Every structure is written in C-alpha cells, then in structure tokens.
Structure 1
Amino acid sequence: MTEASPRIQRLERGLFYALLVLLFWLPVPLGSHRPWAWALLEVWAFALLGGWLLVNAYSPRLQDLKPFAPLLGLFALFQVWVGLQVLPLPMGLMEAISPERAAHFLTADPQAALGTLSLDPNQTHIGLLKGLSYWCLLFLAVALVNTPQRLKLTALVIVLTGTFQAFYGVLLALSGSETTWILGFPNSTIATGGFRYKNHFGNFLVLCLCFGIGLLIASLSRKKAGSLREFLRGTLATLMNGKAVVRLCLAMMVIGLVMSHSRMANTAFFASLSITGVLGLLLIRKKSRSLTVLLASLLVIDLFIVGSWFGVEKLKNRLENTSFTQETRDEVNRYGLALIEQHPLAGTGGGSFYSAFPSVKGPEIQTFYDLAHNDYLQFAIEFGLPAMVLLGIAVLWSLMHAFSALRERRDSLMQGMAFAAVMAIIAELIMLLTDFHLQAPATAIYFLLCLALAWQARFMQAENRALTAQKKDALPK
C-alpha cells in the first residue's frame, strides 16, 4: 500500500468513524426494519463505499483485502443470483432453470418471450438493494477495520450499542408507560429496545454480548499474580483499563436479554457460551486460570444472580409451558417444504414468501404469515437450494477460520475476537431455526460483522507485528 497524503488519511479515518456511527444507529429506528430506515441505510452504505473507492484511487489498498476475497466473493455471487431472479430472462433459459415459472408465463401468454424467476419482482428488487448495501458494509468492515486498534474500538462500539439498547429497553419495560417514548407504539413489561419484536431484540443483544465477552477474554492477563500486592495492582489496573466497565455492560445486556422473554435467544446465548467455553478451554494454548474463572463467572453471575432478579424464573416457565400444539410454526415448516419442492433451484424470489405461501398452506393455518419464522426455510424457499448452499459455505468457512484463530493465534485480542466469532455464529445458527432474525437489517448486518470478525481474527496482524512492519518500512533503504 502506497503512503497516503494527510488529506486522504483524514478521509479514510472519517469513513471509519462514519461506519461506527452507522453501527450505533442501525438498531435505533426499529432495527432499520422500515422502508425509510433501510433506504437511509442504503444511501449511507453506498456513500461510504464511494468514499473508500476515492481513497483507493489515491492510495491503492485492494491488495490488503486478498485474505478476505473468498468471503466477499461468496456474498457477491449471492447478490448476482438475486439480480438474476429479478432480471427478465429468455423463455428458453427460464424453462431450463425453473420449468414451473416458465409454464406459468406461457399459460398466461403462449407468445411470451421473457419472464422473471421471481414471483414478486418488486419485492425482490427491494431485497436486492438491501443486499447490495449489506455487501458494501461487509466490504467496508474488512477494508476500514484494518488494524487491531480499530478492531478493538469497533467491538467496543458494538458493546456500547447493545448496552444502550438494553438500558433503554429495560427502562421502558419497567416504566409502566402505556406507549413507547418514541413513535408511540403500545408498550408492555417485555423489553424490546429500539426494536418492535422481542425476539429481534433478544437476538441483537446476543450478538453484542458475544463481542463483549470477546473483549473481556482479550483483556485477560497472561501473568500469574504472585503476591497480594501484585493482585491488588492487577485489580486496580482492571478498574482503570475498562474491563470493569465492559463487565457492567455485559450485566446490563443480560438483564435486557432476560427481560425480552425471548426463549430461543436466551437458550442460544447460554448454550453457545457453554459450547464455546468448552471449545476455548480445549483449543486455546497457554490459557490462563483467569479464562476459566471468567467463563464460570459469566454463567453463574449472569444466570443465577442477575437473571433471578429480573425474571429468569418467568422465562423458565415459558420454556416449560411451550407447546407445539398451541403454535402453527411447525405446520408452516411442513407446508413450506412444498414450495421448495416446486422451486428447488431458482426459488420463488427474494421477499416473495408472503405472496407464495398462501398457495400451499393448509386450512388449519388461519394466521397470515408474511415471514416463515425459520430463516433456513425462508432462504431456501426464496433463493433456492443452490443459493442456500452458497450461504452455508460462507458461514461454515467463517466458523472454520474462527476455530483456527482460536487454536493458532497467540495474540490475546485475536483469541478474544475468535471466541466472539465462534460464539456468535453458533448462537445465530441456533436462533435462525425458530424465527426470521436476518430479515431485520440491523441483525443481518451485525451477523455479517461476526462473519468478518472470524476472518479478521485469523488473518489480521497482531499489534506488535504491525508496529514492527511499520518501523521496517520507515527505515531508509
């Protein structure tokens, strides 16, 4: 990378901080799950990418992104496929890809020469624009968060974002107000933060909690405290360097998570923490005793102490009383499989579930389902099985890199971020079974950040190596 002028450096630094502001903003307007909110997101993302391209024109740095090319390429291919779904295609190609859709067009007009794979081209076009903005932010996450200092700052901003959402959600739930303080929606004793749906709120907090736990692991001392004086000095350093603040943020987010009454979010959080904790103890080399103590304290303090004060018993009762006979989501899954059988390759088109599902649902489903309440099912229906496999490869490849970083990296920050990535991916894979979390832009983008985090933890230079490289570059030749 060539040395940039001070003006280009300021522009690049400004783009990074604008990205951080966007990350804080995303959950505020109902999880950005409204047309005006995701339109703002799209403009913001495209503008940031335009700014980065200008920086790259004066200071080329694309070569620095080579390690992340597979991740970016897989998601770019997915967006190309969504574009093909909405693009008018020759009828011969339509018959090869989706005979059902071709037959539909030819039945309506035997002379039809063009047709679209999507059952609802307008919704697919909306989804394409959102997806392109997601890809832009994924690209910017690996292009702008390019140093350990920026990685740590980004994780801290995400933790503060989750803490703000949790504090607002808990305060509003405990206020007794009949309506929310912003936009005047009906309010209850269930915490939802800036979201309208408690499960989206719970999912978002789980992702933020993963980043917070990663920061705590990154800050653990690798030295053993010998004397009481060293122990007190280490404790004072903990209070001064911010670990205590991060721990308080985690406690606040756990309170918000419990008060969301989201069964799957709470289950996924504690399950992923337990699974990743065991994996961390097995994979991390030269682990300190403080890591074991930290993981144990997270489970004991958050679940049994903080949780008991803020309603974990009620959540337990909700889990025990859950009955599939009282819900129709399993029937939605069963009938949704019929749509996959009808459109296995091409899918019905992004955003078309609400218009496609009524054609296959049975009489026992009286509720209108605009979303599948199972993102695996919805993605397979709307985008087809090959595109679903493509996304699966991206997620599992990211998880593999997170495992590798957890096992091989010696830098504490990279180990902590790898732990966060593994935990976040496991938790999200669990939560996607029972809801439509990735339909909310804020949650979808934060999950993409978790995938990017796995690659960064694997390939980003540690701080001491980066400084050494800079010093070598500064030496006269």
Structure 2
Amino acid sequence: MAMADQVRANKRRRLIKQMQHNHSRKKIQNNRLSTITFGAFLLLLFWLPIPLGSNRPWAWAIMEVASFAIFAMTILSYSLSYIRQSLGLYWPIVIGLGVFVLFQLIQITPLPAPMIKLLSSNIYYLKSQYINVSADAWMSLSLDQVQSQIATLKGLSYYLLMLSCLVLVNNFNRLKLLLISIIVIGTWQAFYGSLMALSGSEKSFVLGLNNSSAANGSFVYKNHFANYIMMSLSVGMGYLVATLNKDRLRSGRDHIANALRMLISGKAALRIALAIMVIALVISRSRMGNTAFFVALSIAGVMALWLMRDKSRSLLFLLLSIFVVDTIILGAYFGIDKVKTRIENTSIANEARVDVNEYSVELVQLFPETGTGGGSYYSIFETVKGQDVKAFFDHAHNDYLQFAIEYGIPASIWLLIVVLITLVHAIRAMKHRNSRILQGVGFASTMAILGMLMHMSVDFNLQAPANAMLFHMIIALAWISHSGLKSKNYVEDLS
C-alpha cells in the first residue's frame, strides 16, 4: 500500500514539474512574441509617414491590416487577465475613444426608419425623398456609406494600435525605445524635407512629385508635414527634459563637466536632431505649424517650471536655448523671416478657407445631432458651396468643423472632452510623478496636445492617417506617463 502511495506521489510530482516546465516555456514564447510584436509596432510607426503620409487608399489599407495584425499578436502575447489588468489602468481613455469608435460603427449600421427619423430628421428626409430609399426601409445615418466605411476602418485601426501601445509599453526600456523611435522618424522626415526644399530640384527624389522651396518631406501637403514635425519635436523636447541634470551646478567647473558629459552622451545627438527638426519646421513655411510649436513650447515650459519637482536651472536654460539658438540663429539663416512675412500678410479677406468654412457651418446647422457620416465631407460639401468657391475641397480646413459636420455636435464635444482630460493627466504627470522619464513624457504629451489643439483650428491634420496615428500614440503616452509604469526598482539611464 505504501509502495502504491509512493508511486502516485512520484507521478504527481512529475506532473506538477511538467506543468511548471510547460508554463515557463509558454511564458518564454509569449515574451518572444511580445518582443516581435513590439518591433512590428515600431516598424509600422516608421513606415506610416513615408507613403505620402499614408493618405492614399493603398497606403491606409496597409496601415489597417498591419494595425489589426499587431493587435491580434498583442492579444496572443499575453493572457486575457493581464490585458484586462493593463488596460484597466487606462480605462478612461479606453472607454472614451471606444465610445467614439462605436458611434462610427453605428453611423454605417442599417437602422429602422423611425429610429433614423428620431435621431436626425434631416437625414431621414434626404434619404426618403432624394436618395431613393423607401420611407419605411432600414437605412444608415451616413449620407455617404462608402466614405463612412473607410473612415470607420481608419478610426478602428487608430484605436486598436493605441490599445496595443498601452499593453506593449509595459516597462521603461520599451518606453524609451518608443520615444527614441518617434524622434528618429521625425528627424529623418525633417532631414529629407529640408534636403528636398534646399535642393532646387523640380521633382522629389521619391515618387517624382512636384517639389518647391517649402519643405514637405514625404507628405503632399506642407501643413501635414509641419504638424507631424511639431509632434515629433514635442516628444524630443520631452525626452530632453527627462535627461536634464537635477543636481545644482554651483561652479564653473560643474558647468564644464556637465557640458563634457553632454558631448559624450546621447544629449548632443538629441540636440542636433531637435535643431534639424526646427529647421525643417521653419522651411515648411507653415504659419500655424510654427506658431503652434512655439506657443505650445512656451506654455508647456512655463507649466514645467511651475509644476515639476526637483527642477534645476538647466530646464530654464534649455527653454531659453530653444528660443535663442534655434529660432533666432537657425531660423534667421533658414528663413524664419519668410514665415513671419506670411503671418503678417495673412488676413481674413484673402483666405479662401474662411469662405469654405462659412458654407461648411451650414452643414453643422442642418445635421447637428449625428452629422452626415464619417468621411462624407468629400461629397456633401458640394451641395452647399456657393458660386464664389471654384476649387474642389475634400476636407474642411478646420478639424473641429469637419468633425462637427461628419459626426455631429454631441460626438465632437465628447471627443474634445476626452482629449482635454488626457491633457489634464499629462500635466498632472509633470507634477506628481517622481520618475524623470515619466515627467518628460508628461511634458511631451502636454506640448504636443496643445500644439495639435491650435493647429486643428486652421487645418485638417487628423484627416492624414500618419498624423492621426501619431496623435493617438501621443494620447497613449500621456496616459502612460500618468497612470502606468509604477515600478520603483527601475534605475533610469537616459544618457
């Protein structure tokens, strides 16, 4: 009997040992898959701005397939309980943007005619009277079903990649890699854009597009390029803030030693990268792109000086150097005076986009409840524009206005509130987090969101997939800086 008990006990021990081995092996495999997934995630971010800002059907199709695949790989890399726990840290943004994506899906879903009439009487009237839809048939809220389906797929891909970012960036090393990747991408775009603008070539080196003296990188529209560089610069500034020496420099020897440490560390390369991006931003001749950058930098800098713990004079010197060295010296050499002239010559009378926006407001008044459907501005604006508007406009030159037209006032306000809450959390990260890198990420997110909120008022940057995706990454970084990465045992090395 004792012999049988001993045999059963040995079998049980072997079974437990085998289960532990299998669990350990599965964990290693999942870690490898997670690493591969994170690499694919960074590779996608690098790719997105290259094919004309991914603002072509074939390019955003690649983005969507890659985003869905990365999200699927993320789910396979971790257990469902871990994913729930990770996303639970960021539940306000997960729910906030999730509700908006759900509304996008509702816009393209056929609904009973009485429900459509209840939600938007003008949509019901147009579809039943002019679009050959039976008054008692099921119909969708969108006036352009095809374009709304395209917009919904884009929105879903942004959302899923943001969720992947929130799960994958689960340690400080990955956070550092993400920040460096965004800086490298922005620097490459800035270098290529500046090279093209200064080359004097009539055609771009890639795809043979028309080239001019204004930098636009691999984007078609210079303001999309300027907006992308503004966000990348914000991340670079935040990373530089995170590397600042918090020790008080009491003597000239301390200043010399600190300068030498900067030269042999990565800080010098980072400052060069920031200078290249500032040059490209100036050469883009984008009025609001440059204005948004410097105003956002000023506001975020004042907040950092006021809120950040254990700050030194290095932060003040850094902000002053950006304005003095980058704007006066580099800007004067590479043409900031031309940007200044464009701003001075700007008036409401000679801005065609103002006339377009006046007609666009009529669409908001006609469809305030649920909008005309995502992406429908492309076709619906033609029905209200006046004879004085000769050009074709596929976007309103104001993201706030376009969102209000396509998604209605309630959904647009909801989305704005979500972004403003994110901004508040980024600001709070600067004040409450003890980690230097998380404070720096809070600074970067604050600056980028402020810049985007300003630039959106005169352009349609969120209609460019590369810009929209990068902005979703900025939003993810803001929440990570506030609510994520709470390990107290990590020794930061940002050199």
Same fold (TM over 0.5): yes
Letter in 2 for 1:163: T
Distance in 1 between the 2:266 and 2:412 partners?
41
CA shift for structure 1 position 111? 4.8
Would the aligned equivalents of 2:113 and 2:135 in 1 still touch at CA under 8 Å? no
| Residue in structure 1 matched with residue 8 of structure 2 by the alignment | none
Would the aligned equivalents of 2:376 and 2:406 in 1 still touch at CA under 8 Å? yes
Deviation track 1:357-411 (CA, whole Å, cap 9, x = no partner) reads 1222222222211110100000000011111012112101101101111111121
Would the aligned equivalents of 1:373 and 1:434 in 2 still touch at CA under 8 Å? yes
Mark the structure with the bigger radius of gyration.
2
Indicate whether 1:412 and 2:441 are aligned.
no
| Residue in structure 2 matched with residue 85 of structure 1 by the alignment | 107
Indicate whether 1:248 and 2:276 are aligned.
no
Would the aligned equivalents of 1:411 and 1:462 in 2 still touch at CA under 8 Å? no
Letter in 1 for 2:63: L
Classify the secondary structure of the residue corresponding to 1:115.
coil
Mapping for residues 365-444 of structure 1, pairs under 5 Å: 365-444=389-468
| Residue in structure 2 matched with residue 51 of structure 1 by the alignment | 73
Q: Which runs of 5+ in 2 are unaligned?
A: 1-22
Distance in 1 between the 2:128 and 2:458 partners?
37
Letter in 2 for 1:216: L
Mapping for residues 20-419 of structure 1, pairs under 5 Å: 20-57=42-79, 60-107=82-129, 108-419=132-443
Q: 1:234 to 1:126 in 2, by over 3 A?
A: same
Letter in 2 for 1:214: G
CA shift for structure 1 position 110? 4.8
Range that drifts further, 256-265 or 388-397: 388-397
Letter in 2 for 1:6: I
Range that drifts further, 78-87 or 212-221: 78-87
CA shift for structure 1 position 225? 3.0
Mapping for residues 451-470 of structure 1, pairs under 5 Å: 451-462=475-486, 464-465=488-489
Distance in 2 between the 1:366 and 1:71 partners?
41
Distance in 2 between the 1:291 and 1:58 partners?
42
Identity %: 45
Distance in 2 between the 1:432 and 1:111 partners?
38
CA shift for structure 1 position 114? 1.1
Deviation track 1:26-65 (CA, whole Å, cap 9, x = no partner) reads 1111101111110000111111111111122488332122
| Residue in structure 2 matched with residue 475 of structure 1 by the alignment | none
Would the aligned equivalents of 1:31 and 1:440 in 2 still touch at CA under 8 Å? yes
CA shift for structure 1 position 234? 2.6
Distance in 2 between the 1:312 and 1:23 partners?
30
CA shift for structure 1 position 106? 2.5
Would the aligned equivalents of 1:414 and 1:462 in 2 still touch at CA under 8 Å? no
Would the aligned equivalents of 1:56 and 1:62 in 2 still touch at CA under 8 Å? no
Distance in 2 between the 1:105 and 1:192 partners?
41
Range that drifts further, 106-115 or 186-195: 106-115
How many pairs align?
A: 467
Distance in 1 between the 2:51 and 2:133 partners?
44
Q: TM-score, normalised by structure 2?
A: 0.91
Deviation track 1:206-257 (CA, whole Å, cap 9, x = no partner) reads 0000000001100001112345554443323222330111100000000000
Indicate whether 1:6 and 2:13 are aligned.
no
Letter in 2 for 1:261: R
Distance in 1 between the 2:244 and 2:388 partners?
54
Q: TM-score, normalised by structure 1?
A: 0.95
Letter in 1 for 2:85: Q
Distance in 2 between the 1:198 and 1:467 partners?
41
